[in-house]
Amino acid sequence: MRPVRTAFAGALLGTLVLAGCGQAGTTATPSSAPASSAPAAPSGEFPVTIEAGNGQVTIGKKPERIVSLSATHT
């Protein structure tokens, strides 16, 4: 009985591994546009006001540094 369980477990594991490697229903299409939907301000044009999810945000001067809380969204 043990060889049957081992074979079944191996087949199940193989199926799960192959399913995990498959593609989703949609595929990403490469684009030449940046991922950001907000247009970038040309250098030297500050202050700039940006419409954010929580209202308008005004950036008074050109940032010297930024803090990224998510490396995948930077």
H or E, element range at 9: helix 2-21
Q: What Å distances lie between residue 12 and 17, 23, 35, CA to CA?
A: 9, 19, 39
Average pLDDT over residues 56-66: 90
Average pLDDT over residues 37-43: 56
Q: What is the mean pLDDT of residues 45-74?
A: 88
> What pLDDT band is residue 21 in, cutting at 50, 70 and 90?
confident
Task: Give the DSSP H or E segment for 14.
Answer: helix 2-21
Q: How confident is the model at residue 56 (pLDDT cuts 50, 70, 90)?
A: very high
Query: For the chain, what is the mean pLDDT?
Result: 76
